[in-house]
Amino acid sequence: MIVAERLCLENIREVFEKNINNSNVLNIKLKEIAKESFKKFIELGLPNNKQEEWKYLNLEQLLKSNYYPYSNFNPEDNVQNLSDSIEQNIIEECKQSNIVLINGFVSESHSNFSALQNKIFIDSIHSSNLRDNPLSVYKEDSSRPHQNIEKDGGELLNKNFNKVETEDPFVHLNTSFNSEGLFIFIPEGVELKAPIELLLISTNNLTINHPRILIVSGKHSKAKLFIKTIGTNNIEYFSNIVNELTLEENSKLEITYLQKENGNSTQFAFTDARLHESSELDLSCFAYGSHLSRHKISVNLNGRGANCKLNGLYKLSSNHASHNQIVLNHNVANCTSSQFFKGVLDENAKAEFSGTINVAKNAIGTNAEQLNKNLLLSPTAKVDTRPQLQIEADDVKCSHGATTGQLEEEQIFYLTSRGLPKEKSIEVLTKAFSDEVLDRSSFKSYLL
């Protein structure tokens, strides 16, 4: 195991160094960020099960694996045969408002965002040296809010990129490698009617890819996103995703995140959200694929009156495992948050739900709730659920709860006594259990 771990790290270091020295992609500032992050990653090292946060994850296979990160990948090369599977995974409402990332790189030829042109700003995070023009502009003068990150024009990116405060090595690994990334800025006052789909697809065997998404929603803006992550059949890969979300004052962002990676894959996702005054984040996460997936969600309620709703459903079978780790920080007064996560586990599936609510000393008038419910369809399925509250303020309303159980025999009998075969009865009851979460997403029909 130790040998394997070293092997993995050495691969990564080798590619990183080659990458950083030869790169004409990154500008000086981003190169610095990448170097610092890599230093931090090496310092932190790969995690082990003695660390609290990683206690429930079975890391053995990942650490043993001989995955290589990408050094340089052109998403327009050799991906013509992907057209069909991309087409199938773009939902009806987003045929003209989608962005496709292949192995973490934006593929212009597979994306269609014509409906977003002149409304919102879309570009790759590191694009200033990559493209002559941004993918989509929102002002006639084609200004790039992050064109020169070293100068004033880069303020928006400077303010919002790489602001995750964490000791999580995989976030630093992502920052070291995120070769291009996707930057979406919804300008002040813009309300998008059509949703945006981001399709993240992994295509190469035995690779680590590092998709990086930064979304900044400007003051009083409103948008809906459907993010779906998939992988080509039968390949083995590790998708290490970081999403950064900044919600400016009074903006509203609704995101449905569907993890449907193939069964050989590992996905770690880290979503870091910063909410300013009276902004509203509605994030629903669905974990259906991957033999090992982890979604860490860190929310900072930084402005008064901010409201964050997190919903989640993990539906697993085989020996798949899903880990949901949530940290919700009420940093200021009068914010509201809710966490509602449900799990349906069959066969030997395993899940973790760890949800922490931190209420700072001055965060009076906080209203926070958290609920985790699990349905075990097999005696060998297993759930670890750990709700935690840390409250330093008075005058707050916090609740949390967790349940784990089987379907009720009397309900099954009731349905079968009406003629539904037993399997169908179980299916109907399981669906009813899941629907409670599914009904909270605008994209329900694409989540079944």
Q: How far is the CB of 144 from another protein (least distance, A)?
A: 49
Q: How far is the CB of 425 from another protein (least distance, A)?
A: 8
- What is the C-alpha separation between 291 and 262, in angstroms, rounded? 8
Instruction: Compute φ and ψ for 333, nearest 5 degrees.
Output: -75, 160
- What is the C-alpha separation between 107 and 198, in angstroms, rounded? 11
Q: How far is the CB of 287 from another protein (least distance, A)?
A: 20
Q: Which is nearer to another protein, 141 or 410 (by Cβ)? A: 410
Is 238 strand, coil or helix? strand
264: which DSSP letter? Answer: T
- What is the C-alpha separation between 75 and 176, in angstroms, rounded? 19
Indicate the length of the chain as a whole number. Answer: 448
* Dihedral (CA of 150, 152, 153, 155) sign: positive
- What is the C-alpha separation between 82 and 84, in angstroms, rounded? 6
Which parts of 232-291 are beta strand (E)? 237-247, 252-259, 266-275, 280-287
- What is the C-alpha separation between 17 and 19, in angstroms, rounded? 5
Instruction: Compute φ and ψ for 287, nearest 5 degrees.
Output: -110, 110
Q: Which is nearer to another protein, 150 or 408 (by Cβ)? A: 408
Q: Which is nearer to another protein, 105 or 314 (by Cβ)? A: 314
Q: Which is nearer to another protein, 50 or 418 (by Cβ)? A: 418
- What is the C-alpha separation between 278 and 14, in angstroms, rounded? 46
Q: Which is nearer to another protein, 235 or 428 (by Cβ)? A: 428
Do residues 267 and 228 touch, judged by C-beta distance below 8 A?
Answer: no
For 348, the token pair is 């030997």
Q: Which is nearer to another protein, 206 or 432 (by Cβ)? A: 432
Q: Which is nearer to another protein, 317 or 430 (by Cβ)? A: 430
Q: How far is the CB of 342 from another protein (least distance, A)?
A: 11
Q: How far is the CB of 401 from another protein (least distance, A)?
A: 17
- What is the C-alpha separation between 113 and 135, in angstroms, rounded? 9
Q: Which is nearer to another protein, 199 or 437 (by Cβ)? A: 437
Which residues of the shown chain bind another protein in the complex (CB under 8 A)? 408-411, 413-422, 424-425, 428-429, 431-433, 435-436
Q: Which is nearer to another protein, 27 or 284 (by Cβ)? A: 284
From residue 302, alpha-carbon distances to 254, 274, 281, 330, 334 in Å are 18, 7, 13, 7, 11
Q: How far is the CB of 436 from another protein (least distance, A)?
A: 6
